């Protein structure tokens, strides 16, 4: 029981949000299970900051989804596929192709696929980083150019935290941009053809307001990471240049999402109203010959969930190969290995062991005022 005591805040927060998501139908039953699994993975890491990034992303994402809910309901049409369900908050609908129920647009309960699309890649990075921190043997017998072989692979360890934060900055930026940008007074333009106006909800459609909201979303998640890392293990600070880099990574994410949406995600419109038809839970909208739906653009390669996952991963990976991030970040984190700390010139006098370091199986050495980048 003592080993779980440091995790009580995270466990309590997870229980509270699961209760809220269940009673308010913010997540489907499978979505709740997926959320618990994702939260569990985040709790495996000895740094609480990554868990709180997940929680704040869920809270802010839920909040911006509710903004302008009635207005959003009239901008798009919801398609629920074979289940024949109408989204939460919709007043009614008409039978569409193949008897599938449709109604006004609006966001229903999030599915397990949506949960993994937004947080799955972060889970992969967190598991890899947790292994690096807790492993007593080589992570890999590496011959990969740019990654130092041997115990802990220090170059990879230096950039993984940045990648995790960048992933959440990107998905938050995309959520803010799509949920608030759709309420813009002006019609969106196609990102690949900015002279062309498109209906609200079109994949690849962008507005100035949406881009601005996206910057805010990425900044808020970066700020969350900075505060959490400062007040909890490993007690490090993000400097201004790193905050700026991660905010830009968030903006890159929402731009990438729009580009992918325009190129490899089909946009389907209703033949009668001209409104965009959105698949419930990010599912693919079926278009049948002679039906009322029309494929308006984009190749039908990825669903909305597929686009989100690729965007989340694509926003993180460039951080790994950015030379200054590896060069400067490499010397900023004191890894859990005394010899490595000594090699980096970090003496015992300038390091501290966090109060709850006992929950991890390794000796912790952290710089009091270390930064991700200098």
Question: Cα–Cα distances in Å, from 138 out to 53, 176, 335, 342?
Answer: 29, 40, 14, 19
pLDDT above 70: percentage of residues in the chain: 68
Categorize the per-residue pLDDT at 273 as very low, low, confident or very high, splitting at 50, 70 and 90: confident
Mean of the per-residue pLDDT values of the chain: 76
Domain boundaries, the chain: 2-74+110-265+301-323
Find tokens 């909890």 and name the residue. Answer: 232
Per-residue pLDDT tens digits for 29-73? 999 999 999 999 999 999 999 999 999 999 999 999 999 988 888
In this predicted structure, the answer to whether residue 147 has a pLDDT above a threshold of 90 is no
User: Three-class SS of residue 107?
Assistant: coil
In this predicted structure, the answer to whether residue 311 has a pLDDT above a threshold of 70 is yes
What local confidence, expressed as pLDDT, does residue 296 receive?
Answer: 64
Q: Among residues 170, 169, 173, 175, which one has the least CA distance to residue 222? A: 169
Q: Is the peptide bond before 7 cis (omega within 30 degrees of 0)?
A: no
| Helix or strand run (H / E) with residue 356 | none
What local confidence, expressed as pLDDT, does residue 321 receive?
Answer: 58
Class of residue 344 by CB neighbours under 10 A (exposed 0-12, middle 13-18, buried 19+)? middle
Residue count (the chain)? 374
Q: If you compute the radius of gyration of the chain from its CA atoms, what whole number of angstroms results?
A: 22
Class of residue 294 by CB neighbours under 10 A (exposed 0-12, middle 13-18, buried 19+)? middle
What local confidence, expressed as pLDDT, does residue 137 receive?
Answer: 55
What local confidence, expressed as pLDDT, does residue 318 receive?
Answer: 74
Per-residue pLDDT tens digits for 339-362? 333 443 433 333 333 333 333 333
Task: Please check whether residue 166 is in contact with residue 319, taking contact to mean a CB–CB distance below 8 angstroms.
Answer: yes
What local confidence, expressed as pLDDT, does residue 213 receive?
Answer: 97
Angstrom distance (rounded) from CA 184 to CA 53: 28
């Amino acid at each position: 029981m003592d080993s779980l005591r440091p995790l009580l805040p995270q466990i309590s927060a997870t229980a509270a949000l699961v209760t809220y998501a269940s009673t308010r139908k913010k997540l489907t039953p499978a979505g709740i299970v997926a959320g618990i699994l994702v939260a569990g993975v985040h709790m495996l890491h000895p740094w609480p900051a990554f868990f709180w990034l997940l929680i704040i992303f869920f809270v802010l994402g839920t909040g911006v989804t509710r903004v302008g809910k009635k207005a959003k309901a009239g901008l798009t049409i919801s398609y629920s596929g074979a289940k024949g369900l109408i989204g939460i908050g919709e007043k009614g609908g008409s039978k569409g192709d193949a008897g599938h129920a449709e109604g006004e647009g609006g966001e229903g309960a999030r599915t397990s696929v949506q949960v993994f699309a937004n947080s799955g890649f972060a889970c992969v990075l967190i598991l890899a980083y947790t292994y690096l921190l807790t492993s007593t043997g080589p992570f890999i017998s590496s011959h990969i150019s740019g990654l130092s072989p041997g115990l802990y692979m220090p170059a990879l360890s230096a950039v993984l935290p940045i990648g995790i934060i960048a992933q959440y900055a990107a998905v938050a930026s995309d959520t803010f941009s799509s949920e608030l940008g759709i309420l813009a007074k002006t019609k969106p333009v196609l990102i690949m053809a900015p002279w062309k106006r498109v209906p609200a909800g079109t994949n690849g459609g962008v507005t100035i307001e949406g881009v601005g909201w996206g910057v805010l979303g990425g900044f808020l998640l970066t700020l969350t990471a900075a505060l959490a890392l400062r007040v909890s293990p490993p007690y490090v600070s993000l400097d201004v240049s790193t905050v700026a880099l991660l905010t830009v990574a968030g903006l890159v994410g929402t731009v990438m999402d729009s580009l992918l949406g325009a190129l490899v995600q089909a946009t389907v419109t209703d033949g009668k109203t001209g409104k965009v038809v959105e698949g419930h839970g990010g599912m693919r909208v079926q278009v049948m010959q002679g039906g009322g739906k029309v494929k308006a653009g984009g190749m039908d390669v990825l669903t909305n969930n597929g686009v989100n996952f690729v965007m989340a991963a694509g926003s993180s990976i460039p951080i790994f190969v950015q030379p200054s991030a590896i060069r400067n970040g490499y010397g900023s984190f004191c890894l859990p290995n005394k010899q490595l700390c000594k090699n980096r010139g970090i003496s015992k006098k300038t390091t501290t062991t966090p109060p709850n370091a006992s929950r991890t199986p390794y000796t912790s050495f952290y710089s009091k005022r270390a930064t991700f980048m200098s």
